[in-house]
Amino acid sequence: MRSVLDLPTTYKKLSPAARKRFDSIFSFNLDEGRMVIPKSMKPWAKKQFGSVAKLEKQPILKVTNEVVYEGALFNKLRADRPIQSAKSITQKELLALAKKGPFGDVEANTPEDTFGRLYGRSEISASNVAKYDALHGLIIFNKADPLAFTEAETIDHYNAALSWIAAANSEHPDAIYPVIGWNCLWKAAASLVHGHMQVLVAKEPYAAAKLWKEAATTYKKKYKKDYWKELFAVHESLGLGVEKKGVKVFASLTPKKEKEVMLLADDADEAFFSALFRVLKCYRELGVDSFNVAMILPALKGKGLPAIARIVDRGELDARTTDIGIMELYLGQSVVSSDPAKLWAKLRRFL
């Protein structure tokens, strides 16, 4: 597909088996939003959007994952709408902010976990002062600049997070559900600029992970196939995914927010972390400064989810608007301006 709006045409060209697989997970509908632009608005509409006709007839694609009930609404005009901005921040100002925070001297300014402080090659751990959950720590990067990470450092950070999970589990054997989060800068909800990750291990799976596991179990009973493998296969058949070194990477048809990429693997290992870095490298070349990475790892005991990473762009740092509204919060249907097909055209060069 050259554009996600080509999905109806591309779907018809799939083989019967590929369409059946698609239908076992997704539904879609292409509709048109219409309006009448008054004469007084036409000069502005043409300047802002390129033509009045683009506004008066807007193609809108709705895609829904019927297994886990996640959906997206695609309208490329959303990217062109006027947005108020605050004063932009320079790289020099960003680095100055990072160096001002408490992470400049981690040992003096942060608590340590009851099982001690861990030291990695590119990072140091701390206990989170205001915890999400009972076992919640931080992996604080040695570099203050949140956007200066290399591939080797990214792998180091995630390996340090795995070490923290192992240490927490050793002290609390009933805590077996690990999550690693990377909220980069304030648009992604980071309270501090200095680069860092959140790491948790819980006694019960979090709500979304519980839903995914139950949905995958129901899917397996109904179709006799693995949901996660089929999810990737659908994206691959549409030209939106590739598997390398056991890591499945794809641009999501139902992104949570802009430019969502998903990674799936049996285990969280160096190949998994390396693939994630390459996604972020693509993000940086696309001008993305603020992002979220959610990594939900297999349970430490028993069967459960595969290693899952979900990555989204959180928008420009100087934009006054938030990217989350009622559709995302309460209706389970994200409003998205980025195009998964166009994202994949750029991303596949990095993989």
Which residue range(s) make up the domain with 312? 4-85+207-350
Tokens 């999905």 sit at which residue? 7
Q: Three-class SS of residue 234?
A: helix
Instruction: Judge if 216 and 125 occupy the same domain.
Output: no
Instruction: Judge if 252 and 127 occupy the same domain.
Output: no
- Read off the pLDDT band of 97 (50, 70, 90): confident
The confidence score (pLDDT) of residue 79 equals 53
Pick from 179, 202, 225: which residue ends a domain? 202
Percent of the chain whose pLDDT exceeds 70? 97
And the tokens for 199?
A: 């790491």
Q: How much is the pTM?
A: 0.94
Contact status, residue 205 vs residue 299, Cβ threshold 8 Å: yes
Where residue 8 falls (left for φ over 0; alpha for ψ -120 to 50; beta otherwise) is: alpha
Residues facing residue 29 across a β-bridge: 62
Contact status, residue 265 vs residue 295, Cβ threshold 8 Å: no
Q: Give the C-alpha distances (Å, rounded to integers) separating 127 from 106, 232, 321.
A: 10, 36, 32
Instruction: Judge if 270 and 180 occupy the same domain.
Output: no
Domain count, the chain: 2
- Read off the pLDDT band of 87 (50, 70, 90): low
The confidence score (pLDDT) of residue 85 equals 46
Average pLDDT over residues 103-118: 96
Instruction: Judge if 65 and 186 occupy the same domain.
Output: no
Q: The CATH number of the domain where 187 resides is what? A: 3.30.428.10
Alpha carbon distance 163, 199 (integer Å)? 10
Instruction: Judge if 194 and 312 occupy the same domain.
Output: no
In one-letter notation, the amino acid at residue 209 is A
Contact status, residue 4 vs residue 336, Cβ threshold 8 Å: no
The confidence score (pLDDT) of residue 37 equals 94
Q: Is the pLDDT of residue 283 over 80?
A: yes
Instruction: Judge if 136 and 48 occupy the same domain.
Output: no
Instruction: Judge if 103 and 67 occupy the same domain.
Output: no
Instruction: Judge if 31 and 162 occupy the same domain.
Output: no
Instruction: Judge if 79 and 101 occupy the same domain.
Output: no
Pick from 133, 168, 202: which residue ends a domain? 202
In one-letter notation, the amino acid at residue 215 is A
Q: Which residues of 69-106 are buried (b: 16+ CB within 10 A; e: fewer)?
A: ebbbbbbbbeeeeeeeeeeeeeeeebbebbeebebeeb
Pick from 160, 183, 202: which residue ends a domain? 202
Provide the 8-state DSSP code for 283: H
